[in-house]
Amino acid sequence: MALLSIKSVDKLYAGRAGSITVLKKVNLDIRHGELCALMGASGSGKTTLMNLVGLLDRPCHGEIHLDGVPTANVRDDELAALRNRRIGFVFQAFHLLPRLSALDNVALPLLYRGLGKRLRRARAAEALHKVGLADRASHRPDELSGGQRQRVAIARALVGAPTLLLADEPTGNLDSRAADDIMALFLALNRDPGVTILIVTHDPAVAARCPRRIVMRDGRVLDDAGVLPA
């Protein structure tokens, strides 16, 4: 069974000049262990799709199943719990809290799982080790380079052992060498613990390294052959 199953999802935004359809009948399945790039021009709806997949927003029509769990009629608090347990977010702007050390930034998602401080820190140290930043645990974000910050953010996404890692333009703020490192890290994580990863990008170099590329145009997902579904 697919890890993520999106069935004929529509998303409309009500604006002052009538509603705008951002997603039209989107169908998409992502299987366990896949590493996918989600591509498309700006305005093609990939960020909107990402927000829906990340359970930060709800579709107007259609269904999204994550790990076999339907998410349509789930209360707000339960959505937060689902995000906490099953999804790891990586953002273009890192979104690290400046006052916390790298270790505490990584441990933050476990706070909302109700774990004790010692356990949180132990798990966070493991996650930092996985991204190769064990020696930077006590540094604050402003003492780290861009690539290192994004690694901390990836460690934060990994710390809760999610089934799906969502990365929104993870290399957008990085130079090409740091971007290469981050991509290499994603590939390694996909291979070793077998994390399913979905990367939103419009960098062809990033997309080229992903085994599966999903292309969006005008609110629709092209099939893997690059053709609009009928």
Catalogue the E-assigned strands of the chain: 4-15, 18-30, 35-40, 61-66, 69-70, 87-90, 164-168, 196-200, 212-217, 220-221
Dihedral sign, Cα of residue 151, residue 214, residue 6, residue 75: positive
d(CA 115, CA 107): 10
What are the φ/ψ torsions at residue 211 (nearest 5 degrees)?
Answer: -60, -35
Residue in this structure with the two tokens 């609110």, named with its chain if needed: 219
Among 21, 27, 84, 173, binds another protein (CB under 8 A): 84
Strand partners, 12: 21
Per the document, the length of the chain is: 230
d(CA 154, CA 120): 16
Query: What part of residues 49-68 is at the interface with another protein (CB under 8 A)?
Result: 51, 54, 56-57
Mark residues 162-201: x for contact with another protein by CB under 8 A, - for none: ----------------------------------------
Cα 33 from chain centroid (whole Å): 14
Among 11, 46, 123, 156, binds another protein (CB under 8 A): 156
Among 14, 42, 76, 142, binds another protein (CB under 8 A): 76
Nearer to another protein, 15 or 114 (CB): 114
77 binds another protein (CB under 8 A): yes
85 binds another protein (CB under 8 A): yes
Supply 230's token pair: 């009928």
Q: How far is the CB of 150 from another protein (least distance, A)?
A: 14
Contact 86, 161 (CB under 8 A): no
Applying CB under 8 A, the span of 9-17, 21-29, 74-82, 207-215 interacting with another protein comes to 74-82
Nearer to another protein, 89 or 186 (CB): 89
Q: Which residues would be at the binding site for another protein (CB under 8 A)?
A: 51, 54, 56-57, 76-77, 80-81, 83-85, 89, 91, 93, 95, 97, 99, 108-109, 111-114, 116-117, 156, 160
